[in-house]
Structures are given as structure tokens and as C-alpha cells.
Structure 1
Amino acid sequence: MTICSTRRSAAALLASLVLAPCAALAQDYPAKPITLVVSFSAGGNNDIRARQLGIPVAAMLGKTVIVDNKPGASGNIGHDFVARAAADGYTLGIGAMGPLAVNPALYPKMPFDPQKDFTPIVMIERAPLVLVTRADKPFKSLKDVVEAAKAKPGQLTIGNAGAGGAHHLSGELFKQTAGIFMLPIPYKGGGPASQALLSGEIDMMFEQTYAALPSIQAGKTRPLAVTSAKRLPSLPDVPTMAELGYPQVTVSNWLGLVAPKGTPPAAVKKLNETFNKALAAPDMREKITGPGNEIGGGTPEEFAAFIAAENRRWAALVKSAQIKLD
């Protein structure tokens, strides 16, 4: 045997030794229940979607998926828990827009780095917003809002669910893009902001589509525009902000699946494939799109690139609009 052939044989043996554990993990994973951390309280959209997906995912993987709520600090507590967990594929997190893309620009000190401490696995869904006003308000179109705001700067009020939330960011983007000034009115959550809209306390707000639909369907509020890239099946007659000349105001509150940095690639691959299958199921698609949200899916690389782009986008807006925590 020549020296070259001996070296080739040694290299092949080394490669097989390195790849063997990965192949074994791909076959054996998961060997025990998986914990899926939700960084917000039970009953919210993140929690509901985690529990809905946990059922088919558990069936496909053959192991229980346990949803564990760890709310607090605008989602930072739960995300920090995931970032510090063992990178073995058994602790996962519902990665949300706020902690992964907005909070780094808002908080003077973050307990984790969204782009260095996680392994993105898959986008789950995007939740666009809709600009709504009370049905008895004079605004029949987005054009009416812009004209009124320019005629009376600072007199129109636009509510939001708190500094740095998707409601607030959408409003700030709209104001900047349209060159108008409306008075932002913050509330402690989407529920109180919605009640303020219905009572006439504020003129309008960007509201999550799934939350806005009941009032729209009841005729209590009027939708003026949606922030999705395309018209929504749940609101087919409502134009997008892009259609009306404001493509910059294409916004979605999103969530996806993340794991601690260093999670084995074989586990990431298996989780990505499994969650993509769960998202493609007709009943799951209806649960997501029925209330006005959009299906995610895709590769870990696509989700990682999206998170990076969102970080750049919202950091720029937080700085230019001088957004501060309440």
C-alpha cells in the first residue's frame, strides 16, 4: 500500500468517525420530550400557536412537546432562558419579533445577542396589521387621514400597545413615510388600545389583523389599509399600504422557532422538516390564515437572514424616531 493510499484510508476513517454521531443523532433524535419555551403569557398568539403546532409535531417526532411559558421584560426573560439552555435540541423557543429584532435597539443592556446566541430553525408565521378607525369617524380612506394630518398637525391621535411594539412601529413608519405628525397615545397592551379606539378616545390605530377582525366584521370599525405585502384573504377589499403609495409600511409581527446556539445540525434539520410539514397541513394553514395571518416556512438560513434584516430595519427606525421605553 502506498503512502497516499494509506492517507486516503485514514482520512476516510476519520470522516466516518466524525459523521457517525451525526447520523446516529438524526436517527435517534428526539429520545425524550422537547420543551418549547414561550416568552409571553398563556392565551396570547405566541402561546396558542405553540400549543397548536406542538400536537402534530409531537405526533411526527414520537415525543411529547411541552409548552413552558416564561413571560416578562417584553419577552427577554424567556429568550434568555433559551439562549442559556443546553444546545442539545431539547429546549426550543418561540422566537418573537420584539426580543429578536426590536428590543436590542430599545434596551440599554440585553442579556443575550439575538444574532449570536440562537440557532434559527424556521419562520412560523407573519401577522400583518390593519389601520382601523371607528366607523363614525370621518376618515373613509388613507388619503383622508394624510390630508387631515397635514391640515392639523398633531391633532389626530394614533394609539398603540406600548413603545416598540408592532402597533407603535407601524405608526411611526407611516408618519415618517407620509411626512405627517400624529400624536401617539401608548396603552399597556393591545386590548386597552382597542377599547380606546372603540370608545372614541383615539382616532385610529394599527391593530393586529386577527384582533381587529371581530370589530371590523361587526361594523364598529373601518379598515383603511393593511400592512401585508399582498391583500389578505380575510380582508380582500382592503388595499395594502404599498398599493396606496407607502411600500415602506409593509410590516408584520412575526414569530418562528429558535434553539440555543450550537444545537446539532442534524436536530435542526429534523426540526425544520417537521415544522414545515406541520405548517403545510390544511387545518394548520386555516388556523393561521383564517384570522388574517400568513404562513411562514422555509429554511434555517432564510430565517436567519430575515432576523438580521429586521434588526437593521428596526434599529434604524428606533434611532430616527427617537423611540424610548415607557
Structure 2
Amino acid sequence: MKGFKRNVIGNAVLATAFCAGTQAWGSTHASDYPTHPLQIIVPSTPGGSVDTLTRVIGKRLSQELKQAVVIVNKPGAGGTIAAEYVQRAAPDGYTFMMGTVASMATNVSLEKNLPYYPPRDFAAVSLVAKQHLVLVTGPKFAAKSVADIIAMAKKHPGKLSFASAGVGSAGHLSGELFKMLAGINLLHVPYKGVSPALIDVINGDVTMTFASTMTALSQVNEGKLHAFAVTSEKRSPTFPNLPTMEEAGVKDFVSTAWYALFAPAHTPPNVVKKISQTVAGIVREDDVKKHLASDGMELVGSTPQELARFDLAEIKKWAAVVKAADLKK
């Protein structure tokens, strides 16, 4: 009988691990948590968008919790190094990760031997922000709309091309999603970074690319790039006159870079809830929104359950794209 009870409890723990974690609360009580500094692991080098976002949120989190929040950069392997570190950390509510669409969704399908599976190995905390992309071409390209691009691609299969910052990057997967949903054949041209990709698009050596809205903004304003549509669900404040890809005729097209807080699986649910609610309040603050607007961030805030559902949906969506394109790193 005792063994049976233990099995029931064990199964319940596994079933709810991803949404909030279910390790015994131990000494981590909501009333006195946190009692020492927290750390947020960033899967990139200092200075980039995800690092800037984490430092802004971390500073306010520190003020709200009245405890230091240390930002630790662990770049490399598309976020895998940072994720592995957090996966193996003690689930005591003092280690978190600013997960990305790569580390927590696309790598599941792209990496052959990924050492973790997000729904099993992490507790979802809060979806913090999204960053949108925009479809752009060089100024001399003849198309005037997304419909024109699709028509040209269908008339000349494989003749049009799209640049990206590398295999598995947001721009690459957005291009593959475009191919899949529009039923067209485009040639992928990977580069080692965003800048060389944009230069060749501007020069007309490559037809198009999906670039972050803030990266493309100045080039579009200067007439060096022609913008067609944004990849978000709603129109972007950065390009308010541009349609979304779906409005432009590509049904179900949504592709965003996103950033979310995760903790090791089995992190106490009271801790997850407290951090989630605190972050949700922070991202609603006008000063925080203004600070991050220059990076094109759309601040979100979510419950742990909402993030868990969102991440699972992203894993499934990008798995279909990776399979259709026959991609593996």
C-alpha cells in the first residue's frame, strides 16, 4: 500500500513539473523568499537584445524582491550551454534562465542530441517579451507586395533566394516557414551574421531576408531596403503601415523571436508564482517599456501555465518546419 501511494505521488509530480515544478517546498516559503541573491542565466554575450532585456528586468526584479539579482552570461551552442547549466541547477528558486525561441523551442528539432527537453526539464515562469521580424528586399527588386513575391517564386521555382544569419537562425526558419505556408521554392543563402546578409540583400545579390524590425528600420527609412510585411500577429509599432504576413495573404504565418523566464524543473510552485507575478507587473511599467522600445521589444508577461502552453505550441510548430525543410544541425 505504501509503495502504491509513493507511485501515485511520483506520477503526479512528473505530470505537473513543467508548469510550475513540484518539489517539496522545504525552507522556500513565500513569506521569506528570497533570502539571498538570485541569478538569471543569459544564453548570449553581453550587449545584445536578450542581455539588455534581462538586465532591465533583473534590475527591477531586484528592487521589488529587495535582493540582488545577478546576470550571468553563458553564450554558445544556440543557448544549449546556458540551458544545460540551468537544467542541472538546484531547483531552489535562486537560478533562472532567460530562455529564447532557439534554446527552448527550435533546438528541440534542430539538434540531434539535445541534452534536455523543455517540457520535462524546466519550470515555465513567464513569457517576458517578443521581437518581430520584417520581410525586406533590395530597392531594385520588382515586386510590390508579398503576393507579387509568391507569384514570382511560383513562376520561377528556386530562382528567388533568401539570406539569413545562419542555419537555424530566426531569419532562416522564417524563410522556411514562408516556403512551407506559401507553397514556394526559395534558395536559402546562410551567412555568418546579420550584417553580411543585409549587405547582399541591399546589393541585390540575394532576393530577400527576414530581419528584426529594429535592424531593418534605418535601412528602410534610407531607401536601402524595401519592407513588405511584418511577421507578428498584429501590426508593429515600428512599421505601423505595413501589413502582417497573414494580412498579406500567407495564412497562419507568425514568427517571432521571444524571451521567457524558466527555472529548473521541480522549482517550488510558490516561488514560480511569485516571480511570474512580479515580472508581469514589471513589464507593464511605462519606464520599462520605454527603455526597451529601442530594441523593438513587445513586452508581454504571462502566467506559468500560459508560457508552458505557448512553448509547447512553438516546439510543435517549428518541428513541422524543420521536418518540411529537412533541417538538422
| TM-score by shorter chain over 0.5 | yes
The aligned length equals 306
Cα drift, residue 234 of structure 1: 1.4
Instruction: Provide the residue aligned with 1:85 in structure 2.
Output: 89
Letter in 2 for 1:320: A
Query: 1:291: how far off?
Result: 4.2
Which amino acid in 1 is paired with 2:229?
A
Q: Give 1:54's aligned residue.
A: 58
Partner secondary structure for residue 257 of structure 1: strand
Q: Report what 1:219 is aligned to.
A: 223
Following superposition, the deviation at residue 24 of structure 1 comes to 6.5
In structure 2, stretches of 5+ residues that fail to align are 1-23
The CA RMSD measured in Å over matched residues stands at 1.7
Distance in 2 of aligned mates of 1:247 and 1:43: 35
State the percentage of identical aligned residues. Answer: 40
Counterparts of 2:292 and 2:198 in 1: how far apart (Å)? 21
Deviation at 1:53, TM superposition (A): 1.0
Map of 1:9 onto structure 2: none
1:209 and 2:185 are equivalent in the alignment: no
Q: Distance in 2 between matches of 1:302 and 1:53?
A: 19
- Partner residue in 1 for 2:4: none
Q: 1:142 and 2:141 equivalent? A: no
Provide the TM-score with structure 2 as the length reference. 0.89
Q: Distance in 2 between matches of 1:100 and 1:291?
A: 21
Which of 185, 192, 209 pairs up with 1:188? 192
Measure, in 2, the Cα distance between the counterparts of 1:188 and 1:100.
22
Of stretches 75-84 and 312-321 in structure 1, the one that deviates more from structure 2 is 312-321
Contact 1:131 1:204 in 2 (8 A): yes
1:29 to 19, 30, 33: 33
Letter in 1 for 2:322: V
Give the AA of the match of 1:231.
R
Q: Tell me the distance in 1 between the aligned counterparts of 2:140 and 2:81.
A: 41
In structure 1, list runs of 5 or more residues that go unmatched: 1-19
Residue 261 in structure 1 maps to residue 265 in structure 2: yes
Partner-residue secondary structure (3-state), 2:220? helix
Question: Hey, what's the Cα distance between the residues in 2 that align with 1:192 and 1:31?
Answer: 47
Change (3 A) 1:27 1:112: same
Report the counterpart of residue 15 of structure 2 in structure 1: none
SS at match of 2:152: helix
| 1:106 alignment counterpart | 110
Which residue matches 2:176?
172
Q: 1:42-74, CA deviations, whole angstroms, 9 ceiling, x for partnerless residues?
A: 111111100111111111111111110001111
2:167 paired with 1:163: yes
Q: Does 1:248 align with 2:252?
A: yes
Give the conservation status (yes or no) of the 8 Å contact 2:25–2:268. no
Instruction: Verify the 8 A CA contact 1:125 1:288 in the aligned structure 2.
Output: no
* Residues 240-297 of structure 1, C-alpha deviations (whole Å, 9 max, x = no match): 1111221322111111000001111111111011111110100212334454332211
Q: Is the 8 A contact 1:234 1:291 kept in 2?
A: no
